[in-house]
Structure 1
């Protein structure tokens, strides 16, 4: 059966979604929010500002586990872009030294995002709320931001959680919520659960 969308694009929060979208769709083209740990409010901020002001010198810090870097203004945690010296722990000096190259990469991906939203294509956005902290109102605000920023863009939002949230009856048309379990010991997630979920996408909720 043909997919009800032309492109499927992740909106971050957990690397699991990036891995699974690529596995299921075969789409290997990188998008801006791939592999990023980012709260939903900062996704909206990135869209509202058209990705301006990212990775400014002096506005970076190490993540609490010391394994990545965080942009203090953009609220984005990077776990794949900054690298420690061989045999050493990541330092803020490493991060500052590598900022220009990472900024260049993100600017390229921001340009790709602008091309994406201008396409005459139906896009399914996937937001994985792995921490279970988002609400129906948060997803409605995301939908509003996308509609206001990109008039005429044909999209829907699939909101993924570990457990069902309250207020599902308050989700607007064009946003659907589904549950995907945590698979202990495998950050990539449960392949079978993802396959079953994509095979039974609620098309009437996503594109009413």
Structure 2
């Protein structure tokens, strides 16, 4: 029986958190807990990943000690390397191979899900990343980055506080999120009500023949 895979593609952990809140599926994919500012990193997990990720001579700690930047991919890793007193440990590179093995596994799982029947791909953009182009054009770029590595009929969703209004075009949705209101420590999670609206919108775009096996839950979640 087919199941619609819901896969997050950054830019931050907010996407993965909200997908899990709605699907209750704890299975991790490659980009769930990374900072993925470069959408073209999707190509990199297919091409050259084994040889080029986490080169010891190039990886460095950034963002006031919170993350490890891999310059080859542009990805930032916050939750995988050892820490000391709240910051990435100075000998973080010693964990290179175990972290790399983890992401090799997540890569294979993600590529398999990307090629399942009618996957849903969701990307959140920082509110400060004001789109210089129409949001539909920005979503089309997101779609292009994925479709180079998946030939499945799919739904592409781009969400941000900087999007003027939610709308649909072909197999793309752009969704406006409202600014988060609450404790600063929870800001990374985003505005739950906005994401509720987004998933309601997505739910109605899933083909009827797949709706009963979608990873999305019913309205009475």
Q: Which TM-score band applies after superposition, normalised by the shorter structure? A: 0.7 to 0.9
Describe the superposition over 1:40-87 as per-residue Cα deviations: whole angstroms up to 9, x where unpaired: 4343442562644222221201113211111011100111111213x4
1:14 aligns with 2:12: yes
**Gaps (5+ residues) in structure 1?**
none
Q: 1:41 to 1:24 in 2, by over 3 A?
A: closer
Q: Secondary structure at the match of 1:69?
A: strand
User: What are the within-5 Å matches in structure 2 for residues 135-174 of structure 1?
Assistant: 135=133, 136-151=136-151, 153-164=152-163, 173-174=170-171
Q: Distance in 1 between matches of 2:9 and 2:48?
A: 15
Q: Distance in 1 between matches of 2:45 and 2:94?
A: 27
User: What are the within-5 Å matches in structure 2 for residues 79-158 of structure 1?
Assistant: 79-85=78-84, 87=85, 89-91=87-89, 93-119=90-116, 121-130=117-126, 131-134=128-131, 135=133, 136-151=136-151, 153-158=152-157
Q: Distance in 2 between matches of 1:6 and 1:78?
A: 28
**Gaps (5+ residues) in structure 2?**
208-221
Q: Distance in 2 between matches of 1:66 and 1:30?
A: 25
Which residue matches 2:65? 66
Q: 1:98 to 1:133 in 2, by over 3 A?
A: farther
Does structure 2 retain, via aligned residues, the 8 Å contact 1:42–1:75? no
1:24 aligns with 2:26: no
Deviates more, 1:71-80 or 1:32-41: 32-41
Q: 1:25 to 1:157 in 2, by over 3 A?
A: same
Which residue matches 2:214? none
User: What are the within-5 Å matches in structure 2 for residues 29-68 of structure 1?
Assistant: 29-47=27-45, 49=47, 51-52=49-50, 53-68=52-67
Q: Secondary structure at the match of 2:88?
A: coil
Q: Distance in 1 between matches of 2:27 and 2:88?
A: 28
Q: Distance in 2 between matches of 1:34 and 1:137?
A: 24
Which residue matches 2:192? 191
Q: Distance in 1 between matches of 2:202 and 2:114?
A: 22
Q: Secondary structure at the match of 1:59?
A: coil
Q: How many residues are matched? A: 196
Q: 1:47 to 1:165 in 2, by over 3 A?
A: farther
Q: Secondary structure at the match of 2:33?
A: coil
Q: Give the TM-score, by structure 1 length.
A: 0.81
Q: Give the TM-score, by structure 2 length.
A: 0.77
